[in-house]
A and B are shown apart, each in its own frame.
Chain A
Amino acid sequence: MADFRMPVLGADMKTGELVAWLKKPGDTVQKGEVIAEVDTEKAVVEIESMFSGVVERLLVATGDKVPVGTVLAVIRSESTEEGAPSVGPAVAPPPERLARAARPATPASAAGRLRISPVAQKLADEKGVDLSGILGSGPGGRIMVHDVEEALARAPGAPAPPTAPIDRALRMRQAIAGAMSRSHREIPHFYVESVIDMSRAIAWLTEENARRTVARRLIYGVLIVKAAALALKKVPELNAVWSGDHVDLKPDIHVGVAIALPGGGLVAPAIHNTDALSLDELMTQLRDLVRRARAGRLRSSEVADPTITVTSLGEEGAESVFGLIYPPQVALVGFGRLTERPAVVEGRLEVRKAIHASLAGDHRALDGYRGSVYLAEVEHLLQEPESL
């Protein structure tokens, strides 16, 4: 047996609300399969199982808000070695909830039956939303809460639901405030910065994109994310988390990419094994991640797994950015706006494309010299874009 627990999905996450079960007792579940939806303070996140097996019991009912580490379900694991990761002491669910939790929360995907999350169904019932025209965005076409909310917003003459978006924006701001306050309070930051010549990278990208149809084109953000990931191989101590009194180096590189959300706020979900992806694969994954982040459909592993964060201000932002590290990570890489700058090249003055790259480091885990070595490696990699 393995315990499926409320995961930690943010630096300051203390509790999570179980929004929906996507499995019921007796259902088979595969490792990595989404089995529940949890509302953190920032977003509704799809929670993946850490192991394969059969759902034995559901211990927490939809709508319940429980502390991280609470056992949500018991899964009869196919392998006893694939137990749940330790995310803190298990917390027993309130006894009065058990009876409710034991009910099959989600209808099976029987032919002809509507696949809809219970919360979405409740909202649709309350608001009188016709579900027949809604294309579900959840797994297997399942209708989720935000699908119903979007249908409500689209309905002619529908009254605007002012409280939910405001609450969501407020809670997002509060979650960011909590994480960033902790970062500022606990992490002794240092910063190093380089101006990186991007002329070769942009020229290569322009030539490459000229050969591609629009659907296969790359954006330069993909180059900097890949360079940021590969440079960690030379300075692996930046790919780590701070664990109370020591650094835990992470063997896999999962770059968290900061994504601005419509209406404010941002998230920085992971692109797993970023260093091993080709530029095309990275572009595909980044597009998908941005789309799902903005639709509120991130997965738990993407929220929990970043080993370093990259933030880029894009083409319209400020020239430099000096960010706060997202704990427990120990580094954050920032890229400013792409600009044209005068530069001396082989004794001549030229106009070159350039970006300011900064590194915020946790001085408990790193020092400035290694940070500068890292930025030098990023710069070196971006001078050979064809090898990224």
Chain B
Amino acid sequence: MNDSETSGKVLAILAELAPEVDVHALKPDVRLRDQLDLDSMDFLNFLIGIDEQLGVDIPEADYPKLGTLDSICDYLKAKLTGSPAGPPS
């Protein structure tokens, strides 16, 4: 799976969680929680979607690395290619 496909899947999962938002207008380097009205249940559902769609079960200890779209995609890219995870956001 290339970067674009990963990013597309992440946006599709977010779109399902927040159908009222145009996810393509989200700024990739700004905290998601500052752009979307996500609560802890939404965030967990997002992670469940990542697990189901991409096969990546993200441990709770890594949640701080998932602040922005960019950091999420970097993290997933590292997990999917087996390289070390991206830097903490």
Contacts and interface: CB of A to CB of B under 8 A. Distances in A.
B64 to A, nearest CB: 12
B51 A215 contact: yes
Interface in B34-77: 37, 39-41, 44-45, 47-48, 50-51, 57-61
B57 A263 contact: no
B58 to A, nearest CB: 6
A364 B45 CA distance: 41
B33 interface: yes
B19 A315 contact: no
Nearest to A317: B39
Contacts of B5: none
Looking at chain A, what size class is its interface with the partner chain? 20 to 34
Interface residues of chain A: helix, strand, loop or mixed (majority): helix
Nearest to A315: B40
A238 to B, nearest CB: 25
The winner among A221, A260, A262 for most chain B CB atoms within 10 A is A262
A287 B57 contact: no
A290 interface: yes
Contacts of B78: none
Interface string A289-318: 010000000000000000000000011100
A166 interface: no
A150 B19 contact: yes
Given A215-B48, A262-B19, A210 B59 contact: yes
A206 interface: yes
Interface in B13-47: 18-20, 33, 37, 39-41, 44-45, 47
Contacts of A260: 37, 39
Nearest to B21: A262
B20 A287 contact: no
A150 B15 CA distance: 13
Given A210-B60, A221-B41, A287-B41, A262 B18 contact: yes
B17 to A, nearest CB: 10
Contacts, number: 42
A262 B19 CA distance: 9
Interface residues of B, number: 19
B47 A214 contact: yes
Given A206-B60, A209-B60, A316-B33, A214 B48 contact: yes
Contact of A287 (B18, B45, B58): B45
B58 A220 contact: no
A351 B19 CA distance: 39
B75 to A, nearest CB: 14
A220 B40 contact: yes
Nearest to A290: B41
Contact of A214 (B37, B51, B61): B51
A150 B16 CA distance: 12
A40 B19 CA distance: 23
A263 B20 contact: yes
Nearest to B33: A316
A262 B37 contact: yes
A298 to B, nearest CB: 16
A388 B50 CA distance: 29
B40 A219 contact: yes
Contacts of A314: 39-40
Given A214-B50, A217-B44, 15 more contacts: A150-B19, A210-B61, A213-B57, A214-B44, A214-B47, A214-B48, A214-B58, A215-B51, A217-B60, A219-B41, A220-B40, A262-B19, A290-B41, A315-B40, A316-B33
Closest 5 CB pairs of A and B: A219-B40, A262-B20, A314-B39, A209-B60, A214-B51
5 contacts: A213-B57, A214-B44, A214-B58, A262-B37, A287-B45
